[in-house]
């Protein structure tokens, strides 16, 4: 078997956690079909009605904590370790705010849309790990003010996190793989185009063709729990 690419950039989206029981956003019955993102996932919504926004993320945090990683999360973690053993790197960049990659065994995960299990103070900027509900009455552990804590999540109208590091890792990749993402939210949606312009081979692994499907060199369609382990096995990284 040919040796696997040395540097793989993997971008994951909600589809990889779908079989763990966490809803996707834009599929039929998805989160943004049931809930209005403009009332729940913007800084303006938080300013206007913080309790409703906190409740929404408290509910999602509880769901994420109750979920378990599936074979796709685990296969990526194993491939990351295999590649690292051989001197390569699998850079795992996720749009997901759950911690299923970490609990599936991944060592380093870049959460470009933030993390449900972190909170941040809008007053002093202090960020901290947080597994329980965030309530308006909770004091910030940094400045002790109340009413200032929010989930450390990227909302619509805010910049994704870690963009410089992501750009650097994409530029050095030999292979770009998008898993379970509709390809409809920037900046992540632009990575396949950027990869192509850099001459990097691109592959889509999704339940069905995404909005960006025609931009990929290669695609495999099916549930992530099946196609991700199979794809990585074909690369010699099972």
Footprint of ligand OAD on this chain (CB under 6 A)?
13-15, 18-19, 24-27, 30, 41, 95, 113, 154, 180-182, 184-185, 206-208, 210, 223-224
Among the options 73, 111, 113, 126, which is catalytic?
113
DSSP code of residue 214: G
CB of 2 to ligand OAD, least distance (A): 26
CB of 204 to ligand OAD, least distance (A): 9
Half-sphere exposure of 85 (CA within 13 A, CB side): 9
CB of 61 to ligand OAD, least distance (A): 13
Q: Show the tokens assigned to 212.
A: 């960006």
Beta strands in 122-196 (DSSP E): 127-129, 149-153, 175-179
Nearer to ligand OAD, 140 or 154 (CB): 154
Angle between helix 224-234 and helix 71-85 axes, rounded to 10 deg: 20
Lookup result for tokens 């870049």 = 110
CB of 133 to ligand OAD, least distance (A): 19
Phi, psi of 48 (to 5 degrees): -80, -40
Tell me the residue nearest to ligand OAD as measured from the CB: 15
Cα separation of 85 and 68, whole Å?
A: 26
Nearer to ligand OAD, 146 or 193 (CB): 193
101 is catalytic: no
Nearer to ligand OAD, 88 or 185 (CB): 185
Nearer to ligand OAD, 21 or 132 (CB): 21
Q: Show the tokens assigned to 129.
A: 């790990």
Lookup result for tokens 């009332």 = 39
Which residues form the catalytic set?
Answer: 113
């Amino acid at each position: 078997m040919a040796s696997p690419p040395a540097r793989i950039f993997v971008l994951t989206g909600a589809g990889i956690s779908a079989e763990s029981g966490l809803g996707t956003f834009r599929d039929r019955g998805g989160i943004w079909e049931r809930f209005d993102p403009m009332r729940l996932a913007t800084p303006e919504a938080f300013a206007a009605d913080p309790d409703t926004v906190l409740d929404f993320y408290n509910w999602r945090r509880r769901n994420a904590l109750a979920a378990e990683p599936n074979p796709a999360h685990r296969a990526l973690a194993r491939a990351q370790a295999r590649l690292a053993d051989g001197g390569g790197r699998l850079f795992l960049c996720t749009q997901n705010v759950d911690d299923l990659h970490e609990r599936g065994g991944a060592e380093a995960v870049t959460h470009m849309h933030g993390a449900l299990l972190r909170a941040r103070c809008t007053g002093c900027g202090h960020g901290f790990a947080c597994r329980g509900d965030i309530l308006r009455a909770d004091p910030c552990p940094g400045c002790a003010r109340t009413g200032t804590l929010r989930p450390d999540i990227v909302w619509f109208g805010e910049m994704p996190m870690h963009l410089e590091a992501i750009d650097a890792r994409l530029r050095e990749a030999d292979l770009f793989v998008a898993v379970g993402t509709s390809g409809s939210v920037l900046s992540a949606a632009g990575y396949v185009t950027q990869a192509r312009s850099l001459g990097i081979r691109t592959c889509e692994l999704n339940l069905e063709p995404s909005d960006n499907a025609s931009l990929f060199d290669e695609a495999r369609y099916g549930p992530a729990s099946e196609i991700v382990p199979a794809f990585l096995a074909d690369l010699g990284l099972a």
